[in-house]
Chain A
Amino acid sequence: MTITDFERVDRILRRALEYEGERRERWIRRATRGEPDLEVRVRKLLEAANDDGGFAPGGAHELASGRLGETGSELGALTAGDRVGKYRILGTLGRGGMATVYLAERADGEFEHQVALKLLDPAPFDEESRRRFHDERRILARFRHPHVAQIHDGGLARDGRPFFVLEWVDGLPLDEHCSQQGLGLEQRLRLILQVLDALGEAHRQLVVHRDLKPSNLLVTADGRVKMLDFGIAKILQDVESTVDRQQAHATTRFLRVLTPQYASPEQVRGEAISTATDIYQVGGLLYLLLAGRTPHDLSGSTPADVERIVCAEVPPPPSEVASTAWRRRLTGDLDAIVMKALRKEPRMRYESAAELAADLEAYLDRRPVSARRGATWYRMRRWVRRHAVLTTLLVLLGVYALTVTWLGWRFDKERRAAEASASLAIASSNFLQDLFRDADPYRAGRGDLTVRDLLDRAQERADRQFAAEPLTAAAVQGLIARALLNLGDRGAAAESLSRVDALLERGADGFGTELIRFDALATAAVLAQHESRLSEAGELIDRADALFEQLPQAHRTREGRARILRLRGRGADLAGRHADAVEIFRNAEEISAGGARPDWDRVLLARHDRVLAMIRGGMNLDQAVELATESIELHQRHLGEDHPMLVHHLVLAGRGYGSLAWRADPARSEERASGFERGLELLEAAATAASRHFDPSSPVVAEIEFLRGGFAYSNGALDDALEYYKGAYRAHSGRESFASDAAASAKWVGLTYLALEQPEKALQYIQQAVDIRLQIVDGKDYRLAQARATLAQVYHRLGRLDSAIEELRLAVDTFQDELSDHKLRVPLTEFLVTTLLDRIEADLDGGLMGRETHVLVDEARTLLGRLPSDGAASAGAETQKARLAQLERALEELP
């Protein structure tokens, strides 16, 4: 145990650590030439350096007191009798790429069940990944489902490696079970339905599996599926990426962690993982169970091959590779289902596990085909009635094609251009017919084809059909982009817009290019506004405006002009110049209203935005409410009762009444109450109308419910508020892009429970809100702090002061550096001080003072010192200082 020649060996080591690969080798050989002993020593050191010698930061206390320490071998494999935390190893169950699974039991005999203990290979080396591991584990432990192997426990082993303790499942992997039992096609589909059921629940809680493969899906003897390793792939990847930062190539890094056969394109590329990733993997499993092989044959592939195959090659439909006996049954419905789940673009897959399950169920209890064929026309009409948004979109497509044709004949003298535009029109109208025809035989009878489905189809068709006609494709693509944006899918809209650009490049100078470009610029501006890139939006609007002025007279329509104004108005509104915005919107309204026939659709669109700007700017609210009410009447008169835009006008009017009530003098309670009630009435009408046009989990429905919750809460109708907020939470959860809204809804459900004096229930929901925030934010976030503070409020109410203090410390920590000026810093700090003082007082009252009490006093004093000593906050701080002083005196007076 002595170190000889330290300086020399260390110098070689240091250089060697700076180099990699071949260079490192060369250096070692040169530096140790002719001294084999020295070479061995250096190599040993380097080997130890590889995994930091098995040391983890902060690992010392585990060596000393071994809270979760293990006896037996220090690193590597465990054998029977070894201990990990509270568990004793009984034997090895299996070994995977990054982890080993042991059979184990509780060492303290607390319960007798045998469990599976999964010990991951890499250790999380920095604070950040440790913290993430703990957060993650907490969420996983709370997630329960009959088809999911429950995670009981977990922690870090003595050497820093994470481990999980899972329910031990005695079963066979999914594919082996199917072949051993000789299951038929329908029985296989029913197994997948079990998987989808569990997946749906997990996705609602924002837990993504990421590594679905047969060996993670065990089937017990009585035919129940149990899913293993939920969310563990995420932890592995987090840890792995901190261990291996130099490993630049995403695919290589990924392949170390997961199995490539079921990997989705986004995983292979190292892009964002979402619930759609699991859908893809279920697609792969379906493929395996139906066709008897995986979608792609990756044997012997290099990482680069894997990336190319998974991302670019479309596998043959299952019916083409299945055994002849099943081939016919797969053709059609099942082929379509599997291939939709396996789409390369995540957004083109099924939107949820439930949606995929619904399709499989529809297949399973399919009625005779002849019955469906007979009623096609009837169902199609009914379907059109039920889908006003879609109908509008389709009409828009049709009108566009017609306009282009008409203008083409009238203004363009050149024959070629006329022909081109004619073919554009014919292509577009065929396109529409195809869409309808396509929509029917598959499932129009069920009447739940969504706008999104149709758009996806439109996209698919446009890609195929207009490959040789870039301009037509661009026109259709432009409309798709607009519709996607209206649906709130910004990522997909952006993608669609860039396709428009590319298509316009290819079909340069054809007839209609300028018009399509104008449309694309305007849509891009809206997108930029949605994403708060305001100056960029301004530039796009200017470009669109300039382009507009250069269009031939006949193309410079009032719609175009009004559209530019509405864009400018929204820009002003978003920039906080509400008065300007109101003026611009008024202009847009006038343009659309002028002429022989007012264009009511657009008049009311401008009106809607104008009123919204008034409410947001807190301008003349009475007038806003009046205008909104009038809009509803105009809408009903000119555009009918049954139009999706009417929903927005109703919401707006409702919001207006609510804002009036919130503004009203609290003393005039009757005025307030009637304001909220009128607001609630309008929102109820909005909800009824929305149920006809939007699906129940759509953001519009959720927004309505959330507003209703707010009004009911403010009006003291707490039971109602609870229902509404729960509705908003239901609608929002499960949609990743609205996770933040889901957290807000969960928080308010909790606060309502708190107001109803049911703190335990409140705790449950607010914890959920914090968990959701933890999933979506990285690092410091004021909304996470806010949620923690709310959680602290509940703990405080429950008398769990230590927990409250813990959450508040974390919340206050958020505002240490870059957010130190945030308006939440002072109130949160004050809340923490108050809680500390309460805790001290409790100690004092109970005669339980100790050194800890003094520590708390010191902490409170330090925190008070950091609060501003002047301004609005001073009142609270002064009171607290006085209270602190009083407590300190009381402490001193004690014997």
Chain B
Amino acid sequence: MERVEPRGRPEADGHVLQAAEEITRELLRYAEGEAGAFDRVVDLVYRDLRRLARRQLRRYPRRHLETTALVHELYIRFASGHNQIWRNRGHFYAASAKAMRHILVDEARRVSRVKRGGSLDPEPLTDRIADQGNPDLMLRVDDALNKLAEHDPRMAQVFECRFFAGYSSAEVADIFDTPRRTVQRDWTRACAWLRTIVGS
């Protein structure tokens, strides 16, 4: 049975509007060529996405973390204000995928630490992981992906979007404005590379 628990005070509506405007501004800067702006969007999205993930895992403890749905939900929240976030929708989704990757890798790091007897995080993503999953493999994949990105950033980004955020190849094709076949090729190639790097 799903238990409904009190969720504390509602935050002011203002936060959403403010965050959405900030993100819109950064996305615009990124589109104009300011490289650092992208990471600022990732940071801005990270916090909200993580909260949504926590909520989802708590509400539906038996289900997978539905990463794609979370990003869509976040987008709807931000896009419902009067900002122009939709002008750079693709960039928003790419940044969200990266944020999702950070969230999952941070989680893997935490689990790995707990397993080695480290301290407990005050606010874990979910309370019920313990002996499942393979956090060390996750950390190795993350590491390998960083290396791959040095050589072929686009291919690495395609992998990020598909593996961490679970976007379909059509969605990824939309984000990068490339044919779907290219996305599929990039994905296969990235998988092959990562497999050999991680495996070695």
Which residues of A come within 8 Å of B, CB atoms?
1-3, 6-7, 10, 13-14, 17, 41, 44-46, 48-49, 52-69, 71, 74, 83, 126-127, 158, 802, 846-855, 858-859, 861-862, 865, 888, 891-892, 894-895
Contacts and interface: CB of A to CB of B under 8 A. Distances in A.
A849 B10 contact: yes
Interface string B23-67: 000000000000000000000000000011001010100111101
Interface string B1-35: 01011111111010010000000000000000000
B162 interface: yes
A179 B144 CA distance: 58
Contacts of A54: 191, 195
A6 B151 contact: yes
A4 to B, nearest CB: 11
B114 interface: no
A42 to B, nearest CB: 10
A854 B134 contact: no
B111 interface: yes
Contacts of B52: 855
Contact of B189 (A2, A49, A64, A853): A49
Contacts of A2: 147
Closest 5 pairs between A and B when the two form their complex, measured CB to CB: A66-B133, A58-B166, A850-B7, A53-B195, A66-B132
Given A7-B151, A17-B189, A64 B163 contact: no
Interface in B139-170: 141, 143-144, 147-148, 151-152, 159, 162-169
Nearest to B155: A10
Contact of B193 (A45, A56, A852): A45
* Most A-side CB within 10 Å, residue of B5, B135, B167, B191: B191
Nearest to A55: B191
Contacts of A1: 143-144, 147, 197, 200
Given A57-B166, A158-B134, A67 B73 contact: no
B77 A855 contact: yes
B162 to A, nearest CB: 5
B151 A65 contact: no
Given A1-B197, A7-B151, A65-B57, 11 more contacts: A17-B189, A52-B192, A53-B196, A54-B195, A58-B67, A62-B133, A64-B135, A66-B133, A74-B134, A802-B59, A848-B7
A61 B193 CA distance: 20
B74 to A, nearest CB: 9
Contacts of A68: 64
A858 B107 contact: no
Given A55-B194, A852-B55, A862-B80, A65 B10 contact: no
A53 B134 contact: no
A68 B134 CA distance: 11
Given A17-B185, A48-B192, A69-B132, A60 B164 contact: yes
B120 interface: no
A672 B6 CA distance: 52
A851 B6 contact: no
Given A1-B197, A45-B193, A850 B8 contact: yes
Nearest to B100: A60
B138 A63 contact: yes
B104 A60 contact: yes
Main SS class of interface, A:
helix
22 contacts: A1-B200, A3-B151, A52-B192, A57-B163, A60-B67, A60-B101, A60-B104, A63-B137, A64-B105, A65-B57, A67-B64, A67-B132, A71-B134, A74-B134, A802-B2, A849-B7, A850-B7, A851-B11, A854-B77, A859-B73, A859-B76, A891-B13
A74 B138 contact: no
A84 to B, nearest CB: 11
A868 B143 CA distance: 49
Given A48-B191, A858-B16, A158 B196 contact: no
Contacts of B8: 850
A126 B188 contact: no
B149 to A, nearest CB: 11
B192 A13 contact: yes
Contact of B131 (A62, A67, A71, A862): A71
A68 B11 CA distance: 34
B93 interface: no
Interface string B95-125: 0000011001101100100000000000001
A895 B11 CA distance: 10
A6 B163 CA distance: 22
Nearest to B105: A64
Contacts of A859: 73, 76-77, 80
A849 B126 CA distance: 21
* Most A-side CB within 10 Å, residue of B52, B62, B68, B104: B104
Nearest to A54: B195
Contacts of A65: 57, 65, 107, 111, 125-126, 129, 132-133
B79 interface: yes
A6 B152 contact: yes
Contacts of B7: 848-852
Contacts of B167: 57
Contacts of B80: 858-859, 861-862, 865
Contacts of A853: 10
A150 B38 CA distance: 51
B92 interface: no
B76 A858 contact: yes
Contacts of B68: 58
Contact of A57 (B4, B59, B108, B168): B168
Nearest to A847: B6
